[in-house]
Amino acid sequence: MSLGMIILGRQGSGKGTQAVRIAERFQVVHISTGDMLRSAVQEGTELGLKAKSIMDAGGLVTDDVVNGIVAERLAKDDVQNSGFLLDGYPRTVGQATELKQLVGESLKLAINLDVSIEEVTQRMMSRGREDDTPEAIARRLELYEAETAPLIKWFESENILCVIDGLGTEIEVHQRVIEEIERNIG
């Protein structure tokens, strides 16, 4: 597996949009656990049935379940050949340690797209996604601080963290991200 990256950021930070652009630019496979879970819900699979109520409430699907779908995806040929950009995973220290087990040294960079709680709340209120009720938004932000923010320190200690200011237009942020990735991975 060549180049492995992850993108972290509060819900509403624009990480999904940036992830699509980064994956295209660096020709790596974009893997969004949120998208995979939403497809499972739509298809009504067993996984989808398990995940739906948790997602609707803004909770986190269990590490076991998410680790399983990610491990399966990372084993596919396209990822093995081209590398990956994980979006929305890992979200807990348990997931991060599992990822390290799975990919080891291929994980080159953890991009933290930094946008304040106030700003992301405004953005989420206006995007109108089905799971964006005020309660679910509050719950997701709370869980991010409790479960995901500690990962920032974890990646820092692994020496692969890079923090990007997520304020500005999509293009401005994209430029910033590209410069940082090129600077870090050459």
Residues that bind ligand AMP (CB under 6 A): 11, 33-34, 37, 54-55, 58-61, 66, 88-89, 91, 95, 140
Residue nearest to ligand AMP (CB): 34
Per the CB < 8 A criterion, the answer to whether 80 and 86 are in contact is no
- Residues β-bridged to residue 7: 87, 111
Which residue's CB is nearer to ligand AMP, number 49 or number 185?
Answer: 49
- Please state the closest distance from residue 35 (CB atom) to ligand AMP, in A: 7
CA distance 165 to 113: 6
Which residue's CB is nearer to ligand AMP, number 33 or number 112?
Answer: 33
Q: Please, which residues have CB within 8 angstroms of residue 154's CB and are 6 or more apart in sequence? A: 93, 96
CA-based radius of gyration for the chain: 16
Which residue's CB is nearer to ligand AMP, number 95 or number 112?
Answer: 95
- Please state the closest distance from residue 182 (CB atom) to ligand AMP, in A: 26
